[in-house]
Structure 1
Amino acid sequence: MAENNQRLRLAMLGGGDGALIGGVHRIAARMDDRYELVAGVFAPDPAANRQFARTLGLAEERVYADYQTLLQAEAERPDGAEVVAIATPNHLHFPMALAALQAGLHVVCEKPMTLTVEEAEALARAAGESDREFLLMHNYVGYPLVQHAREMVASGQIGKLISVQVEYVQEWLTEEPAADNKQAAWRLDPEKAGAAGCLGDIGTHAFHLARFITGEPVSAVSADLVSHVPGRVLDDNVQALLRFEGGARGSLWASQTAPGHENALRIRVIGDKASLHWQQEAPNELLYAPLNAPAQRITRRDDLLGNAVGRSIRIPGGHPEGYLEAFANLYQALADRVRSGQSVAWLPGVEAGVEGMRFVEAALQSSQADGRWTAIRPVDTAAGRR
């Protein structure tokens, strides 16, 4: 397919006033000048929706009352939206993504992809029947050194995989949040967040990071989910043991009640020849420690990391890049696929969403059975990235 650098026309669902992730999506989409925001539904309240859209400079006729109206109207326009970004609470992901695929739009969807495994599998079928792209926003795989770690594991530089330790811990829900905290309110509501709290919100990120870097499916989980705040319905702390298909063992800790930890995502991947250590709060460094040899600090330099990873780097080594750039790398890779047909094997798709929900389902079942080892059904990825 010929190169085409024309901006993709982007619509957004959710992500209005007070929503952190909506602003992150908009910044990331603009970073490489590959998208133009043309339409949206940002809030359920009509007045708040229109007011927020005015702050973004959108034309009034392209600010819609609901997502159904947006999809229908944009499909009828010759300059209608081509991609829709879904930045809403979890319970809206499935109906919005399904409708967008059926309307012929490419989809960028926040995680977890759906509330249930059944919804995830139905969405996977719809994506498979569509010729549209589906991007699940596991943004942490956008970091260049995460991609480089994946390449090191795949090329055999750490040897046979022995163990994986991954953790994602935060402190922000250690106490009962204020009543007007919108971000906390829906995450603690099972009607909007689903059956998993911390597990679905950040545990899925930790799970996907381990799966992404190692390249190995997780076959079984033994999990213990608890809520430390009295009266809280959903889990806010998760401890889990993992069994990988190739025989490696792992552990996963996700918590939103860990005082002193702001956004501590880190992973250790250990083989019989070397180990790797990466942490999101220092994302421009990867520690490579070979057996019986000095450890090496690998930094984010495009002249050292290879062409594929180097494409995710915008500024010279030593100049810090971070969270927004990682998001932008996923948007850039999606634009490459849509406009020029470039293959981007690492880009998380709908199968990652199915795998994540099967992990959540198995972890919940395991915890309810006092940590009993519970199998995770494998995902068939033979049909491709979608």
Structure 2
Amino acid sequence: MFNEETRLEQPIRWAMVGGGRGSEIGYAHRSGASRDNNFKLVAGAFDIDADRCRDFGTSLGVDPERCYADYKTLFEAEAKRDDGIQAVSIATPNGTHYAISKAAIEAGLHVICEKPVTFTVVEAQDLKRLATENNRVFGVMYGYTGFPMIHQAREMISRGDIGEVRVINMQFAHGFHNTEVEKNSPGAKWRMNPEVSGPSYILGDVGSHVYYLAGLMTGLEVEKLCCTRQSFIKSRAPLEDNAHVMMNFTNGAVGTLWASGVNAGSMHQQKIRIIGEKASIEWWDERPNQLSYEVQGEPVRILERGMGYLYQDEPGVGHNRIGGGHAEGFFESWANLYSRFAIVMKATDEGDQKTIDNTWYPDIDAGIDGVRLIERCVESADDDAKWVKF
């Protein structure tokens, strides 16, 4: 079970940029960060409109004087305070991530950023350089990676339970954008604007999630890929709302990734199936407390979160916030990640290298890899699905 007594002596003073009123992701950040009292929301630039920012921030209990009109003012003003912020989460549209993250690191802050962290690999690598030079933690919000059964799968593969990995099938294919919803949805509209979203819509928005899960579970790296992408809602071009990617991995394994927003009738369909030489495992985010374990020639086994037969010595497996049989979900996953972010931020500030080395979290390298996926897929798709080096 997750040990609720394991927390920081003093919560990290924390702010948000973006994530204002009506933001589903903003609420997820605040819920995850506040769950274990490791972070305390004390400031923010929640909205580009100063009045809306102040009205929303005060409704959350933030001092109105610490609800700022923009992120630059936030960082400058907080740096002058003895009780100024120590970390910031960035939940703004994609095109702003690089500038805000860069300013935050230069202001001496730890950063948790939505993905994709930047438009280009060069920009993402620059953020890594800055974070390293300034000894700051840079976390990337791959929010599904806090589910315990993801870490059970990772441990099973590491211990050889399925044998050498041969095939990885990845998909995140929902149906909520099968019509031109962006006409009436501001949240969808910016995602389908290349000036704000970047060179990709659906691959960056959802495909990168399941791609990161594949790397986390297997430890494998992509050698080369080819991609086709489509804009079934024609007004979205040049951004895709559907994409298929084929991948070759460095160990000889192969994989496919289907990312879609036009899978009519589907809720999420984020699934990952990893096929080894003697068994397969499969995880589905709509049933996140179960992991299917299928050994050739034997009945299918459904492994349940919170049970003693799992690899409890792996910390991620044991992060159960309620006993097995009860449904844990999305907010618990985010809380598990924020718990890890807090641990490594404190360790970084105290020079505790052992804790840093022993604490997994989705870091800037995860962000760089996700941006690289988008770049290579766009390169391949725009060159008639040519195979490209990863």
Q: Cα offset for 1:219?
A: 1.2
Matched, 1:314 2:318: no
Q: Cα offset for 1:305?
A: 3.3
Tell me if structure 2 keeps the 8 A contact 1:302–1:310.
no
Give the alignment partner of residue 370 of structure 2, picking from 356, 372, 378.
356
Aligned equivalents of 1:56, 1:77: Cα separation in 2: 21
| Paired position in structure 1 for 2:278 | 273
| Paired position in structure 1 for 2:55 | 51
Matched, 1:133 2:147: no
Matched, 1:201 2:205: yes
Give the alignment partner of residue 174 of structure 1, picking from 169, 172, 178.
178
Give the secondary structure class of the aligned counterpart of 1:241.
strand
| Paired position in structure 2 for 1:147 | 151
Give the secondary structure class of the aligned counterpart of 2:79.
helix
Give the secondary structure class of the aligned counterpart of 1:253.
strand
| Paired position in structure 1 for 2:294 | 289
Give the secondary structure class of the aligned counterpart of 1:366.
helix
User: Which shifted more, 267-276 or 125-134?
Assistant: 125-134
Tell me if structure 2 keeps the 8 A contact 1:198–1:238.
yes
Give the alignment partner of residue 337 of structure 1, picking from 337, 344, 357.
344
User: Which shifted more, 317-326 or 204-213?
Assistant: 204-213
Give the secondary structure class of the aligned counterpart of 2:17.
strand
Write out per-residue CA displacement over residues 97-138 of structure 1, whole angstroms, 9 at most, x where no aligned residue. 111111111110000111112211111111221211111001
Aligned equivalents of 2:318, 2:138: Cα separation in 1: 21
Q: What does 1:221-260 align with in structure 2 at a 5 Å threshold? A: 221-233=225-237, 234-260=239-265
Give the secondary structure class of the aligned counterpart of 1:286.
strand
Tell me if structure 1 keeps the 8 A contact 2:7–2:37.
no
Aligned equivalents of 1:296, 1:222: Cα separation in 2: 34
Write out per-residue CA displacement over residues 191-210 of structure 1, whole angstroms, 9 at most, x where no aligned residue. 11001011111111121111
Write out per-residue CA displacement over residues 294-315 of structure 1, whole angstroms, 9 at most, x where no aligned residue. 2221110163331312442110
Give the secondary structure class of the aligned counterpart of 1:185.
helix
Matched, 1:301 2:315: no
Amino acid of the structure 2 residue aligned with 1:240: V
| Paired position in structure 1 for 2:384 | 370
Aligned equivalents of 2:366, 2:181: Cα separation in 1: 31
Tell me if structure 1 keeps the 8 A contact 2:173–2:268.
yes
Aligned equivalents of 1:19, 1:115: Cα separation in 2: 22
Residues 1:211 and 1:326: Cα distance change in structure 2 (over 3 Å): same
Matched, 1:40 2:44: yes
Write out per-residue CA displacement over residues 22-66 of structure 1, whole angstroms, 9 at most, x where no aligned residue. 011001111112111000001111121111112111101111111
User: Which shifted more, 127-136 or 301-310?
Assistant: 301-310
Give the secondary structure class of the aligned counterpart of 1:174.
coil
Tell me if structure 1 keeps the 8 A contact 2:172–2:258.
yes
Write out per-residue CA displacement over residues 162-219 of structure 1, whole angstroms, 9 at most, x where no aligned residue. 0000100111111011534111011011111001011111111121111111110111
Aligned equivalents of 2:264, 2:9: Cα separation in 1: 46
Amino acid of the structure 1 residue aligned with 2:48: P
Tell me if structure 1 keeps the 8 A contact 2:306–2:318.
no
Write out per-residue CA displacement over residues 196-247 of structure 1, whole angstroms, 9 at most, x where no aligned residue. 0111111111211111111101111110011101221210001010111111
Report the RMSD for the aligned CA atoms in angstroms. Answer: 1.5
Amino acid of the structure 2 residue aligned with 1:309: G
Write out per-residue CA displacement over residues 225-270 of structure 1, whole angstroms, 9 at most, x where no aligned residue. 1110122121000101011111100000000011111122100001
Amino acid of the structure 1 residue aligned with 2:316: V
Matched, 1:82 2:96: no
TM-score by length of 2: 0.93
User: Which shifted more, 298-307 or 252-261?
Assistant: 298-307
Aligned equivalents of 1:147, 1:346: Cα separation in 2: 11
Structure 2 stretches lacking a partner, 5+ long? 1-5
Q: Cα offset for 1:292?
A: 2.1
Aligned equivalents of 2:389, 2:274: Cα separation in 1: 22
Tell me if structure 2 keeps the 8 A contact 1:264–1:279.
yes
Tell me if structure 2 keeps the 8 A contact 1:94–1:114.
yes
Structure 1 stretches lacking a partner, 5+ long? 377-386
Aligned equivalents of 2:362, 2:73: Cα separation in 1: 28
| Paired position in structure 2 for 1:381 | none
| Paired position in structure 2 for 1:384 | none
Q: Cα offset for 1:18?
A: 1.9
TM-score by length of 1: 0.94
Tell me if structure 2 keeps the 8 A contact 1:140–1:327.
yes
Matched-pair identity in %? 39
Q: Cα offset for 1:346?
A: 3.1
Aligned equivalents of 2:10, 2:80: Cα separation in 1: 20
Aligned equivalents of 1:72, 1:231: Cα separation in 2: 40
Give the alignment partner of residue 15 of structure 2, picking from 2, 11, 27.
11
Aligned equivalents of 2:62, 2:346: Cα separation in 1: 24
